[in-house]
Copies of this chain bind each other. A is one copy, B any other.
Amino acid sequence: MAVTKAKDSILDAAERLFAQFDYAGTSMRMIAEEAGVAQALIHYHCKTKDNLFELILERRSTMINRIRQERLKQCFDEAEGGIPTLEQVLDSFVRPAIESGRYSWGTYFSQILAKLANSVDDRSRDLVHKYYDPIAREYIEALKKVLPELPDSGVYWGYLIMTSAVVSSMPRTRRIKRLSEGILDDDSIEQMIERLIQFNASGLLGLSTLSEQNNGRLRTDVG
């Protein structure tokens, strides 16, 4: 009984509402009603609204990033020669995010995360720093090993552009359906994961300033 049942339903309700109406647009009354508890109980369990937001972020980010960490380690452990392919590394990064984004809770959390990642205020930056820098450093180190020809600056920029693409692909905005006039949709998880890995793998390779000389060499990782 590490966590109360009521506290969970408060976090669930707040997650839904924060995703839908933003932090400032969600009131403690709304959360209390959605969770079916008294408003004062939220303060009892979660102290302040600010802290409640961080609890939500902590719950999901640690969950997703633990899976990423495990799969990344698995990548290197099972790889022949100790170096996995770029696609394997990206799969361990993309899949936990996109798959969680399609679970019931993931559709809400992904919207919260996408907005947080694009915020420039100190509070948001500190939260991203706290919960996403450790996993970022692990992947940057992994990418350096998988792409030894890519200069450091390319690894950092590549990682950030990649994460932008992944994070922004998590919320189901249905924009692809509207743009393609119904031909395509964003509800096929496997299709989206495959596209993201393809796109980002090629994009990372393209960042190498030595791409002309190394096309053949690097392409073997992609192909």
Contact = CB atoms under 8 A, between A and B. Distances in A.
Given A199-B203, A207-B195, A175 B223 contact: no
Contacts of A118: 111, 114-115, 118, 168, 171, 173
Interface string A180-193: 10011000000010
Nearest to A163: B168
Contacts of A25: 22-25
Nearest to A155: B180
What is the size category of the interface that chain A forms with chain B?
35 or more
Interface string A61-82: 0000000000000000000000
Contact of A125 (B167, B168, B173, B212): B173
Contact of A24 (B22, B111, B161, B178): B22
A151 B159 CA distance: 27
Contact of A111 (B120, B154, B176): B120
Contacts of A206: 198-199, 201-203, 205, 222
Contacts of A19: 120
Contacts of A153: 180, 183-184
Q: How many of these chains are in the complex?
A: 2
Contacts of A168: 117-118, 164-165, 167-168
Contact of A202 (B119, B175, B203): B203
Contacts of A154: 195
Contacts of A22: 22-25
A103 to B, nearest CB: 15
Interface centre among A165, A176, A183, A212 (most CB of B within 10 A): A165
Given A22-B25, A215-B219, 16 more contacts: A20-B121, A22-B22, A24-B25, A118-B118, A120-B173, A125-B175, A128-B175, A133-B179, A153-B183, A157-B184, A159-B179, A198-B203, A199-B204, A199-B207, A201-B206, A212-B223
11 contacts: A19-B120, A23-B24, A118-B168, A128-B173, A156-B183, A160-B176, A161-B196, A164-B164, A167-B168, A168-B168, A215-B215
